[in-house]
Every structure is written in structure tokens, then in C-alpha cells.
Amino acid sequence: MAQLNIQHIDKIYDNNVQAVFDFNLDVKDGELIVLVGPSGCGKSTTLRMIAGLEDISAGHLLLDGKDITQAPAKDRDMAMVFQNYALYGHMTIYENMAFSLTLRKENPNVIHKKVLAAAEILGLSSQLNKKPSQLSGGQRQRVAMGRSIVRNPKVFLFDEPLSNLDAKLRGATRREILLLHKRLKATMLYVTHDQTEALTLADRIVCMSMGHVQQVGTPLELYDSPANKFVASFIGLPPMNFFNATVREGFLEGKGFKVALDASERALLMPYAGKEIDLGVRPENVLTEGDIPMKVFSNENLGMNTLVHGHIGGVEAVSNKISAKFRGWCDYKDGDQTTVGFGRKHFFDKETGVAIGREDKA
């Protein structure tokens, strides 16, 4: 059992920089939570406060109902896996994995069993006599995880564990972490700036910007119903397109385009009649069928898909730029004129950036 209640936590550093504002989250037993956001948004600070590596300036932290806000890191029963692995170069892999248990003066037979079991889970059984320098980056990362597993902590904390790996290894190690989570059924908090990692790993994502939580939800909730423009543009790759649009009777009008609204969209936008809003359309929701003129300026073939970039409505302005993700191999040339349509649409209040219809929930 490991439930974590993070209640109204703030972090103000000594130089008066406030890095985290009123962070609230109830982490369920066995849940994998991913904190995601751009560099400097306060993710690592939050994780480090949970680990006990930074003081909590205000608020409370409870582990299984017990207040551990002031508890020293060593008494929190949590294990952290860092980006740089932090392995001891002069020790073997076995010694690295056994280290924390040796420090605690555990019975050598117990240590031996635990190290072998962790090595088995992580596919490191044949590497135990080697030194870290003899292993690949991915294997070193697994040793760092092994070191956490042997401690059998209540909570695993990961701080950007994959950022030192190349793209291919990142994908493979990500899947290993997912398998590990399934196997251990452990409570895990994972920090990353990479939205793909967040979408693929998380039971629930916490998306942050400038020290504030923007939205908490399942990957699908954040992808399909982003709470605001920030989340809409951060989750999803390539990012969502945004256009200025005015709400008219039954349709939306922007520079060089008019799109019809269905009954539920009309109802949603009723309070905005005659006003300007931000219209968001994901590249994968731009359709090849439609009557919106688009002038192409770039065609990127990705194999399965083609990213086509252009301007809509015959106006070559930044506000009219559009990226479309079309299925299959396309061969648009610079300057080609085509037409597109908008599938799933997202609407945002121009002043607050909040998704229209979610104001009450924000």
C-alpha cells in the first residue's frame, strides 16, 4: 500500500523565487503519475519535495495517511532514479545494486537474493560482475532502477530517467519501465518534459506551467479535452493549430475560412455569439476533404504519414499557418494550392485561454 496525498504545496526558494504554487494531488496505490511540462515549470522541485531533498515551504505531504512533510529523506521509504544514474564507478553492478542494503546492514543472504531477483527482472543477471563503464547507457539506467527495486520502497520517483539515452533506446527503456510498473504494481511518480513519455506511460498526467498545475487527467483526457490553450499546445505532436475565429449564427468565421458548427458546438458557443475565440485544430484532425483553401510551403514525408505545412485562406500570415498530418505518402510541392477541412475542433476563450465549456471546472 502506498497512497500519497499532496496538499496545497508551495515552494519558495531562498532567493524568493516561487517555483511551485498550491500543488494538489491524491496519488492512488499503484498509480503511475507523470509530471510533464516545459523546462523550469517546477516538476523536479515538486518531485524533490516529495522525496525530501527540498524543504516544503507550505502545505502537507501524507504517505498512507501519515504526515511526512518534515520527515528526512531517508525515513520516507521512497527511492529516486536520476537522469545521470548516479552509479559508483569503482563498484561492480552487483555492489552498486546491493549498496543501500549493505549500508543498512541487511543480512548478506537477503541482500544476495534481492539483488539476484532485481537483476532477473531487469535482464542484468549476466552483467553483475562488470563495472558501470562496461555497460551501455540503457543498461546503466536499468542498474539505477535495480538499485531502487532492491529497497522495495513504497514509492518510486523518476527524474527524467531517459533523457541521456538516444531516441531508439528511450523507446525501449520506456516500455521496460511500463512493464516494471505492471510487474511491481508500485506507486510511481515520473518527471519528464517529453509529452510522448507522458502519453505513453501515465495512468494520469499532471501538466504544469510556470509552477502551476494546468490539468490532471488520463492521457486521453488531456489529449482529447485539454483544459486550456497551454495544455492543448503542449500535449500532442506536432502541436495543435490555433486560429482567430468569430462566432456567427451556425458557423465560425476566420481569415479566409468559414466552418459550419453542429448542434452541440452551437450550443457550446452560444454565449460567445459575435465574439472572437481561439479555434484549435490538431494536425491529425485537418482533413483532405473540405473547402478551406490552403497554400503549401513544406512537405515532410514520415513514411506512414506526411506533414504538410501551409497557410489557409490565401493569407500568408503567422496567424494563418497550418500544419496537417495526412495519412500515407503525399508529394505536395511548395506553392501548391489545395483545400482542407476541419474535423474535431477545440474552442478557447481568447482572454483566459480556458477551454470553452470548462470554465466551471478549471
| Residue 236: other Cβ atoms inside 10 A | 20
Residue with cell string 522495495: 152
What is the four-CA torsion angle of 199, 40, 226, 83, rounded to 10 degrees?
Answer: 10
Which one, 39 or 264, has the nearer CB to ligand ADP? 39
Cα distances (Å, whole numbers) of residue 255 to 88, 325, 353: 60, 21, 20
15 binds ligand ADP (CB under 6 A): yes
205 binds ligand ADP (CB under 6 A): no
126 binds ligand ADP (CB under 6 A): no
Stretch binding ligand ADP (CB under 6 A), from 9-17, 258-266, 334-342, 347-355: 9-17
- DSSP-derived 3-state class of residue 208: strand
Stretch binding ligand ADP (CB under 6 A), from 40-48, 116-124, 161-169, 308-316: 40-48
How far apart CA 321 and CA 32 sit, in angstroms, is: 37
Residue 209 beta carbon to ligand ADP: minimum distance, rounded to whole angstroms = 9
Task: List the one residue from 4, 34, 44, 322 that touches ligand ADP (CB under 6 A).
Answer: 44
Task: List the one residue from 8, 17, 26, 271 that touches ligand ADP (CB under 6 A).
Answer: 17
- DSSP character for 300? E
Stretch binding ligand ADP (CB under 6 A), from 15-23, 72-80, 254-262, 293-301: 15-23
Which one, 12 or 184, has the nearer CB to ligand ADP? 12
Which one, 192 or 241, has the nearer CB to ligand ADP? 192
**At 295, phi and psi to the nearest 5?**
-110, 120
162 binds ligand ADP (CB under 6 A): no
**What own/partner pairs with CB < 8 Å and gap ≥ 24 does 163-168 have?**
163/83, 163/192, 163/194, 164/83, 164/84, 164/85, 164/137, 165/137, 165/138, 165/141, 166/137
- DSSP character for 283? G
Stretch binding ligand ADP (CB under 6 A), from 37-45, 90-98, 133-141, 305-313: 37-45
Stretch binding ligand ADP (CB under 6 A), from 13-21, 164-172, 197-205, 242-250: 13-21
What is the contact surface with ligand ADP in residues (CB under 6 A)? 13, 15, 17, 19, 37, 39-45
